[in-house]
Structure 1
């Protein structure tokens, strides 16, 4: 897997990540969602550099301009519900993309420190020969990303696969690296060192879904 960790180079992205982590700034859900969205825009911009392009002629009032434009059929797929702001950020840049949505959540059985990933809802176009961008803001254990990709397989085989996350743990990065093809790209804003006993990223930022949309009842 090809890993692109954007905070290996300093940029304005550091500001957005810092605000998302800050317990005081997190009190503003609107700003939290917007920072996720802006991070998605930056990740999408960087991702666009490795896509396929073709030349297009555009007539201007004074002549003809030759431009290289994206020549990939893109499908954006986000994992509900935390993935919605990240999806919107990517869609701001890939505005002609098709869209897929999938629900995946942790189901705890008897032991609160162990869980399985449950996929309940999936809406997806045909993926055959297309470029799939799979977005999940928190890459903790990596199990959700792998389970989602497995659930998408009946919809066709993508030509290229790009994984997009905001914050990941090294364990999750290693896990997806073992389960995706070596040609897969991972675009991630930053990578933290570890997970706690419940599988949450440390230092991370908490529950991205709750911070964006409010606390939920557990089931």
Structure 2
């Protein structure tokens, strides 16, 4: 798996990530969502450089112009609900893409340290020979992405897979690397070293869904 870790270079993403992590700035939910959306737009631009293109001739009011245009059929598939701001940023760039949505949440078993990822809802188009962008802002253990990937297998075989996240952990990235096809690419703003005993990214930024949309009732 090829990893595009944007924390290895200085860019405006540093500012967005600083605000996403800061406990005081996090109080502004609109800014939190907007910063994730902005990161999605930057990822979309950078990811677009890896796509296939074909030459087209465009007619202008004063003549014609040859230009290379994207050839790939894209499907953006987000994990609800935390993935929505990141999805929006990517959709701002890839506005002709198809879209999919899937719900996946952590369910603690009798032993609170034992976590099951439950998928309850999936709406996605056919994926055969398309470029799939799996969108999940928090890559903690990698189990959510594994379950989402398995759930999508009945929708066809994409020719290429890109995973798009805001923040991840080294163990989670390693796990995803072990289960996804070798030519998968990961686009991520920062990778933190560890997970705590509850499988939360440390130092991380907290719960992206709650910080974007408000606290939710916990599923039992």
Fold-level similarity (TM above 0.5): yes
Aligned residues: 219
Q: Equivalences for 1:32-71 in 2 at 5 Å?
A: 32-71=32-71
**Offset of 1:106 from its aligned partner?**
0.5
The separation in 1 between residues aligned to 2:204 and 2:68, in whole angstroms, is 38
**Offset of 1:62 from its aligned partner?**
2.0
The separation in 1 between residues aligned to 2:27 and 2:155, in whole angstroms, is 39
**Offset of 1:203 from its aligned partner?**
0.6
Matched, 1:155 2:170: no
> 1:8-66: CA deviations, max 9, x gaps?
11101100000000000000000000001001111111111101111111111222111
TM-score, length basis structure 2: 0.98
2:77 is matched with 77
> 1:63-118: CA deviations, max 9, x gaps?
21111111000000000000000000000000000000000000101122220100
SS in 2 for 1:171: helix
The separation in 1 between residues aligned to 2:21 and 2:114, in whole angstroms, is 25
SS in 2 for 1:38: helix
2:15 is matched with 15
RMSD after superposition: 0.6
Mind listing any 5+ residue stretches in structure 2 that lack a counterpart?
Answer: none
SS in 1 for 2:154: helix
SS in 1 for 2:4: strand
The separation in 2 between residues aligned to 1:172 and 1:96, in whole angstroms, is 31
Report runs of 4+ in structure 1 exceeding 6 Å deviation.
Answer: none
TM-score, length basis structure 1: 0.99
Mind listing any 5+ residue stretches in structure 1 that lack a counterpart?
Answer: none
SS in 2 for 1:199: coil
1:97 is matched with 97
Matched, 1:112 2:137: no
The separation in 2 between residues aligned to 1:54 and 1:208, in whole angstroms, is 38
Q: Equivalences for 1:189-208 in 2 at 5 Å?
A: 189-208=189-208
SS in 1 for 2:72: coil
The separation in 2 between residues aligned to 1:112 and 1:138, in whole angstroms, is 20
Q: Equivalences for 1:108-187 in 2 at 5 Å?
A: 108-187=108-187
The separation in 2 between residues aligned to 1:89 and 1:108, in whole angstroms, is 31
